[in-house]
Amino acid sequence: MNKASQFSDEPTRVAHLMKHFLSGQSGSILSSDDQPEIRLTIGADQKDDCAVYEMRAPVALVVGSDYVRGPKFMLYELGLLSNFDLGYYVVAANVSDVAAMGAMPIGILTVVRYPNDLDDDGFHELMAGIHQAATDFGTLNVGGDIGQAERIILSATALGICEVGKVLTRRGAHEGDLLCVTGSCGILGAAVAYFPKQDEKGWKLESSLERALLQSWQKPQARVAEGQLLASKPFATSCQDTSDGLKATIEQIGEASHVGFEVFEDSVPLDPAVEAVAELMGVEPLALAMSASADFHLTFTIPQVDSEVCREAFDSMSLNFHIIGRATSHDQGIRSIGPDGAERSLPGVAWKHQKNDISTLVTDVSPKS
Amino acid sequence: MNKASQFSDEPTRVAHLMKHFLSGQSGSILSSDDQPEIRLTIGADQKDDCAVYEMRAPVALVVGSDYVRGPKFMLYELGLLSNFDLGYYVVAANVSDVAAMGAMPIGILTVVRYPNDLDDDGFHELMAGIHQAATDFGTLNVGGDIGQAERIILSATALGICEVGKVLTRRGAHEGDLLCVTGSCGILGAAVAYFPKQDEKGWKLESSLERALLQSWQKPQARVAEGQLLASKPFATSCQDTSDGLKATIEQIGEASHVGFEVFEDSVPLDPAVEAVAELMGVEPLALAMSASADFHLTFTIPQVDSEVCREAFDSMSLNFHIIGRATSHDQGIRSIGPDGAERSLPGVAWKHQKNDISTLVTDVSPKS
């Protein structure tokens, strides 16, 4: 027998269902010992018009906003993602943008609107996902907007701080710099290509791979430690997160930095789940790894001379990255270099915001010849 | 003959339709001469992952996010508000929260998602409204998120700065303090009570009043100057904007400050358009002025001893406020004091976020006895 659903009004939800997520945050010191003091003097627990930070600077404040489709995620519509997962995702997506600038997150503001048929348990799950993600990324949900709408609407703003002059941008890559990525990409896109077509196509991957595909959407990790490491050292010349897909990210860094790139096909890390889905789809694994996928890895460039010291710095923090290419002159464009030295355009389909559905993009990838 | 509609993709819209709104903002100094330097080093024109501010502090950073119903505004659905108006409104609503803390706005991040049937002209209007509001409030639209959705979705985050220790909160009012408001409230609620029922009820106000009702939604003004004035002087003990309606605002300040209030009915300023709509509805003008209405006036408290110096400070900047009541002990609650000294509960219906539609609330106001 199901427990009867409760539908409390907004003041009750704020007062009772969210209170334990927010209490005690005002007064928190958010910076570490060696940084200028950042104190959250008014947090969400104070229920004022805004959150307030006191900053003993100078400091670079980094701030970005992302809406996420949330309830329109195909895997949510299929019942494979929970409200908790949506809450987690909206935070990860926003913190990722701050991480890509090399900043330390100091807070997130979340817009959570929900329909009348989202009961108290569903609402609590959503807020719990937000809280868990904020906690995992070492930050706080300091406010935002809660209220009613005709469906779940999720958006957020992440704030971070960085030492002045050390913010990582997309525009500093030079010819000869090495192109790097913090991990294998494309798994979120692969999940969207796999699950909705599974029944129609009779696809059945082994359960460990299915779990990996699903987990990619459940707790996507913003690369906060990697971003901060890159900002703290002098070697990264550009950085961007891969939330538009790896190919699109490489193109955008190239455009912003006015360089081209050659990508060494053999060096691009491939996730086994991406390889398995690519095989089912009859497409090249590299193409799927490059295509639209809301991964939150970091793509960055470093001068070749710094590659060893960068590797040592990553190793010392048990972090990893892969060198997957090299910056060239801008007029050479973005090229893919095969193991035999053969050149071609970089495969994969970049995320086009204009289209609504990752799966249509991924299936645009041309079949293996 | 209508001009054929164009539907450019998102990169085209960003590159061509928004460019003139954003260009040149990076490098702007946002603080005035007597304040710590705040420089927007990376603005929306750089198209990076985030906006970046360099802050020579110490400084209090004030930040809040509001979603607005936008396309679900009844007057938009009736064709009385344009896309420009929606864009203007989302900025005003967010800047208002920063103004209520006494901060100077330093930027706004806007989330603008739109359906496939919003053509380039409609999109441009929306962005023009955002740009105009940011300009009117002395700030910049420094980034956010543009993209597709199944309908227009509008949300924003406003950032502001204030001198450390001078932020205005809701929680400092003391017994005996005077209760003040920067202008007459309720006109946005009155507009929503009037226009949708006009045909059904055969209502026809004179055109200057109709215009006033409509204009209240078209260019709502965040009270930035008033907020900064109050923060710069030592006299305001609490402050909040009236976006939930005046009655709700008074209740919330009372709750946060642990005081009660007596409201002097004769002193509450009434807009002629609110009076006219109240008459048509058969309700008390005071009740309509107190009820749910997304006005952006500021309600604040000052010690009685400071009322003259506060008046002089406002006068010197050609600003105005009205003293409408006095803080009492908390256990006296919120009371309304009539011209004859008779006491009653404060009339009006507070905004409940749980209900979707201001008009149902406003029409909940009990008829005049």
Q: How far is B240 from chain A (nearest CA, A)?
A: 7
Strand partners, A326: A178, A262
Are A147 and B353 an interchain contact pair (Cβ–Cβ within 8 Å)? Answer: yes
Supply the pLDDT for residue A336: 96
Are B155 and A150 an interchain contact pair (Cβ–Cβ within 8 Å)? Answer: no
The answer to whether the peptide bond before residue B339 is cis (omega within 30 degrees of 0) is: no
Across the range B264-276, mean pLDDT stands at 97
Within 8 A of A53 by CB-CB distance, chain B residues are 60-61, 63
> In this predicted model, what pLDDT tens digit does every residue of B294-314 receive, in sequence order?
899 999 999 999 999 999 999
Are A62 and B52 an interchain contact pair (Cβ–Cβ within 8 Å)? Answer: yes
Between chain A and chain B, how many beta carbons pairs sit less than 8 Å apart?
223
Is the CB of B147 inside 8 Å of chain A's CB atoms?
A: yes
A113-151: burial string, b at 16+ Cβ within 10 Å, e else: bbeeebbeebbbbbbbbbbbbbebbebbbbbbbbbbbee
When CB atoms are compared, the residue of B50, B58, B148 closest to A354 is: B148
Q: How confident is the model at residue B363 (pLDDT cuts 50, 70, 90)?
A: very low
Is the CB of A361 inside 8 Å of chain B's CB atoms?
A: no
Supply the pLDDT for residue B109: 96
Best of A145, A148, A244, A299 to mutate (most B CBs within 10 Å, chain B): A145
Please state at what angle helix A207-218 crosses helix A272-281, rounded to 10 degrees: 110
Strand partners, B155: B67, B111
Is the CB of B46 inside 8 Å of chain A's CB atoms?
A: yes
> In this predicted model, what pLDDT tens digit does every residue of B312-350 receive, in sequence order?
999 999 999 999 999 999 999 999 999 999 999 999 886
Are A240 and B354 an interchain contact pair (Cβ–Cβ within 8 Å)? Answer: no
List CB contacts of A117: < 8 A, sequence separation 6 or more. none
Do B245 and B351 meet the contact criterion of CB atoms below 8 Å apart?
Answer: yes
Q: How far is A138 from chain B (nearest CA, A)?
A: 19
Phi, psi of B335 (to 5 degrees): -125, 150
Q: How far is A286 from chain B (nearest CA, A)?
A: 25
Q: How far is A240 from chain B (nearest CA, A)?
A: 7
Is the CB of A120 inside 8 Å of chain B's CB atoms?
A: no
Q: How far is A309 from chain B (nearest CA, A)?
A: 26
Report d(CA A321, CA A312) in Å as an integer: 11
Within 8 A of A11 by CB-CB distance, chain B residues are 352-353
When CB atoms are compared, the residue of B49, B98, B167 closest to A97 is: B49
Within 8 A of A159 by CB-CB distance, chain B residues are 63
Are B67 and A145 an interchain contact pair (Cβ–Cβ within 8 Å)? Answer: yes
Supply the pLDDT for residue B31: 77
Supply the pLDDT for residue B351: 57
Is the pLDDT at B366 greater than 60? The verdict is: no
> In this predicted model, what pLDDT tens digit does every residue of B64-121 receive, in sequence order?
999 999 888 999 999 999 999 999 999 999 999 999 999 999 999 999 999 999 999 9
Are B50 and A66 an interchain contact pair (Cβ–Cβ within 8 Å)? Answer: no
Q: Quick check: helix, strand or coil at residue B368?
A: coil
Supply the pLDDT for residue A2: 54
Within 8 A of B98 by CB-CB distance, chain A residues are 49-50
* pLDDT, mean over chain B: 91
Q: Closest by alpha carbon to A67, among B209, B143, B340? A: B143
Within 8 A of B102 by CB-CB distance, chain A residues are none
DSSP run (H or E) holding A42: strand A38-42
B330-364: burial string, b at 16+ Cβ within 10 Å, e else: eeeebebbeeeeeeeebbbbbbbbebbebbebbbe
Is the CB of B51 inside 8 Å of chain A's CB atoms?
A: yes
For B7, name the nearest residue in chain A, comparing CA atoms only. Answer: A354
Which is more confidently placed, B195 or A2? B195
Q: How far is A19 from chain B (nearest CA, A)?
A: 16
Do A335 and A136 meet the contact criterion of CB atoms below 8 Å apart?
Answer: no
Strand partners, B25: none
Is the pLDDT at B155 greater than 70? The verdict is: yes
Supply the pLDDT for residue B291: 93
Q: Which residues of chain A fall short of a pLDDT of 70?
A: 1-3, 350-369
Segment among A72-81, B47-56, B192-201, B271-280 with least mean pLDDT? B47-56
Residue with structure tokens 């209900």? B355
Q: How far is A338 from chain B (nearest CA, A)?
A: 30
Within 8 A of B257 by CB-CB distance, chain A residues are none
Are B54 and A52 an interchain contact pair (Cβ–Cβ within 8 Å)? Answer: no
Report d(CA A263, CA A339) in Å as an integer: 11
Is the CB of A14 inside 8 Å of chain B's CB atoms?
A: no
When CB atoms are compared, the residue of A59, A64, A143 closest to B143 is: A64
Is the CB of A343 inside 8 Å of chain B's CB atoms?
A: no
Is the CB of A323 inside 8 Å of chain B's CB atoms?
A: no
Are A167 and B52 an interchain contact pair (Cβ–Cβ within 8 Å)? Answer: yes
Is the CB of B14 inside 8 Å of chain A's CB atoms?
A: no
Within 8 A of B54 by CB-CB distance, chain A residues are 58-61, 164
Is the CB of B101 inside 8 Å of chain A's CB atoms?
A: yes
- Residue A83, judged by CB atoms within 10 A of its CB (0-12, 13-18, 19+), counts as buried
Is the CB of B351 inside 8 Å of chain A's CB atoms?
A: no
When CB atoms are compared, the residue of B11, B50, B63 closest to A64 is: B50
Is the CB of B355 inside 8 Å of chain A's CB atoms?
A: yes
| Rounded percentage of chain B residues whose pLDDT exceeds 90 | 76
Supply the pLDDT for residue A352: 53
Supply the pLDDT for residue A7: 86
Within 8 A of A162 by CB-CB distance, chain B residues are 52
Provide the token pair at A272. Answer: 């086994």
When CB atoms are compared, the residue of B66, B109, B150 closest to A63 is: B109
Q: What angle do CA B56, B61, B64 make, to 5 degrees?
A: 150
Supply the pLDDT for residue A16: 79
Phi, psi of B91 (to 5 degrees): -70, -45
Is the CB of A35 inside 8 Å of chain B's CB atoms?
A: no
> CA Rg, chain A, in Å?
21
